[in-house]
Amino acid sequence: MDYKEKYYFMTQKLKILQFPDPKLRKVAKKVTKFDKSLQNLASDMLHTMYEENGIGLAATQVDHHIRLIVMDLSEKRNEPMFFVNPEYKILDNHSTCSYEEGCLSIPGFNEEITRPDKIDLKWQDLDGNTHNDKPKGLLTICIQHEIDHLEGKLMVDYLSSLKRDRIRKKLLK
């Protein structure tokens, strides 16, 4: 049974904050309690992400300022991933890749962003167990994008201020 069949009846779609909402600039707090309310929020975030056809969502984007990220990079959209208190170290500053990124908080805009592609990632799961990995492929890009959200940073910050202003004006209309 996939996630949707199993949990959709008990979860809800949350409202996603949109750029340039200043709440997207808040720095998220570390998660210290691995309880039912954390699991409920993670489930609601996953529901929201699937409904909006996103591949990743940070708690900041739904106005919960804790260090929690949900993701699903699978083709069938049935492999949910949860990252609590994620952090990474860049292993090689000279090794980068460019990818056309999108963001549920900046709907309608895709921009090519260059990021380091060799990182060492550490995170906790919803039960508080610690994990460590050197991710490959899309996960490397996506997790950096989502951790940026927890820091109050957005993909538009990598663009020129001219371009950023153009996007801001279009989204405010």
* Local structure of residue 8 (DSSP, 8 states): G
In the complex, least distance from residue 146 CB atom to Zn ion, rounded to whole angstroms: 7
Total residues found in the chain within this entry: 173
According to DSSP, the residues that pair with 120 across neighbouring strands are: 89
Distances, alpha carbon 143 to alpha carbons 9, 72, 114, 171, in Å:
28, 11, 14, 25
Neighbours of 106 (CB within 10 A): 21
Q: Which is nearer to Zn ion, 73 or 128 (CB)?
A: 73
Using the contact rule CB under 5 A, the part of the chain among 10-18, 62-70, 102-110, 122-130 near Zn ion is 102-110
Contact 122, 88 (CB under 8 A): yes
- Per-position x/- string for 48-87, each x denoting binding to Zn ion as judged by CB under 5 A, each - no binding: ----------------------------------------
Neighbours of 95 (CB within 10 A): 11
The answer to whether residue 103 forms part of the interface with Zn ion (CB under 5 A) is: yes
In the complex, least distance from residue 23 CB atom to Zn ion, rounded to whole angstroms: 14
Judged by CB under 5 A, the number of residues near Zn ion is 1
146 is catalytic: yes
Nearest-CB residue for Zn ion: 103
Choose, from 101, 112, 146, 151, the residue flagged as catalytic: 146
Using the contact rule CB under 5 A, the part of the chain among 15-23, 41-49, 63-71, 97-105 near Zn ion is 97-105
User: Which of 32, 59, 60 lies closest to 46, judged by CA?
Assistant: 59
Give the binding site for Zn ion (CB under 5 A): 103
- Catalytic annotation, residues: 146
